[in-house]
Amino acid sequence: MILGCHVQMKAPLYVEGSVKEALSYGANALMLYTGAPQNTKRNPIEKLHVKEAHELMKENNIPLSHLIVHAPYIINPANSVKPEVAELAKEFLESELKRTEEIGASFLVLHPGSYTTTDMETGISTIIERLNSVEYYPENVIICLETMAGKGSEVGYRFEQIEEIMSGVNHPENFGVCLDTCHINDAGYDVSDFDGVLDEFDRIIGLKHLHVIHLNDSKNERGQRKDRHANLGMGTIGFEALHAVAANERCAEIPKILETPYINKKPPYGIEIEMLRTNHYDAERLNTL
């Protein structure tokens, strides 16, 4: 199983520290933000210990395709109301694509954004316009549009909306999808029938475009359009269904990334990854973390 989690990237070791953190959880994949997800302040690439990170990954048989970058959620490419937000999205996306390439990661996860006071169709055309205004698309980086929960005016909570964006971009070879189990549950899909979900995904978008899975339980009932992540087995999806996602052979080559909340201020990832690998759930171990 290719299992990883969201890890920190901070001084002094930066990306090397991220890999170390992932290894400490028994992970063979990882996802990081290149700085605080709430802002666009970033360190120069020379400071990030990229070479050391790659060496450490190689020593531990983790290919670069299991290293994933998540764009900060402050950028909103669907906003057509405030031009300055739109301009920031374009500029930041360009620099983030470059940074992702320099870090050596293949996938940059991006939230499509929220249409705010307009409507879904305006939101989708705004995203397409924004993505097409980006002047530099690295050859080896794929932007993975994340499936969203549909909270507020979020774009991308139906596979059809993601497909519409993907068929409107000028560089389709640079686009793919990140499927978040909590988000699709909240959007109304039945994660406990994951083969059914994959069939629908395949029919509408095409399974070959699926590159990353975010494996999270959800605090909300299916279809609530809320987006609140829960620890594995502590939400409405349940451990059995999430294990079935991790074990599904049709996406065996796709990294599954945990974005579950800390418990008692401690990361649950080591335990959650072990429980997935052994298919043995023990709520007590998480609760007493």
By the criterion CB under 5 A, which residues form the site for Zn ion? 227
From the number of C-beta atoms within 10 Å of its C-beta (0-12, 13-18, 19+), residue 274 rates as middle
* Stretch of 10-18, 128-136, 210-218, 220-228 contacting Fe ion, by CB under 5 A: 210-218
Task: For the CB of residue 259, give the shortest distance to Fe ion in the complex, in Å.
Answer: 5
Cβ atoms of 155 and 113 closer than 8 Å? yes
180 touches Fe ion (CB under 5 A): yes
- Binding residues for Fe ion restricted to 64-123, rule: CB under 5 A: none
Nearer to Fe ion, 180 or 186 (CB): 180
Q: Which of Zn ion, Fe ion, none does residue 272 bind to, with CB < 5 to 8 Å depending on kind? A: none
Task: For the CB of residue 47, give the shortest distance to Zn ion in the complex, in Å.
Answer: 29
Residue 213, phi then psi, degrees to nearest 5: -120, 130
Residue 81: CA atoms inside 13 Å, Cβ hemisphere, count? 10
Site string for Fe ion, 118-147 (x = CB under 5 A): ----------------------------x-
Cβ atoms of 50 and 58 closer than 8 Å? no
Task: For the CB of residue 53, give the shortest distance to Zn ion in the complex, in Å.
Answer: 26
Nearer to Zn ion, 21 or 227 (CB): 227
Nearer to Fe ion, 65 or 218 (CB): 218
Joined together, the tokens standing for residue 55 give 């060496």
Nearer to Zn ion, 42 or 225 (CB): 225
Which positions ≥6 away from 140 have C-beta within 8 Å? 101, 106
Task: For the CB of residue 186, give the shortest distance to Fe ion in the complex, in Å.
Answer: 11
Q: Which of Zn ion, Fe ion, none does residue 214 bind to, with CB < 5 to 8 Å depending on kind? A: Fe ion
List Cα–Cα distances, 30 to 61, 67, 96, 189, in angstroms: 13, 5, 17, 26
Residue with tokens 């070959």: 208
Q: Which of Zn ion, Fe ion, none does residue 219 bind to, with CB < 5 to 8 Å depending on kind? A: none
Nearer to Fe ion, 209 or 214 (CB): 214
Cβ atoms of 145 and 165 closer than 8 Å? yes
**Binding residue for Fe ion, selected from 49, 209, 214, 226, defined by CB under 5 A:** 214
Task: For the CB of residue 37, give the shortest distance to Fe ion in the complex, in Å.
Answer: 9
Q: What angle do CA 16, 32, 259 make, to 5 degrees?
A: 130
CA dist., res. 74 & res. 119, Å (int): 20
List Cα–Cα distances, 264 to 122, 145, 288, in angstroms: 42, 31, 8
Nearer to Fe ion, 56 or 108 (CB): 108
Task: For the CB of residue 102, give the shortest distance to Fe ion in the complex, in Å.
Answer: 21
Task: For the CB of residue 284, give the shortest distance to Fe ion in the complex, in Å.
Answer: 27
Residue 154, phi then psi, degrees to nearest 5: -60, 135
Nearer to Zn ion, 217 or 227 (CB): 227
Cα 128 from chain centre: 20
CA dist., res. 67 & res. 48, Å (int): 14
Q: Which of Fe ion, Zn ion, none does residue 16 bind to, with CB < 5 to 8 Å depending on kind? A: none
By the criterion CB under 5 A, which residues form the site for Fe ion?
A: 146, 180, 214
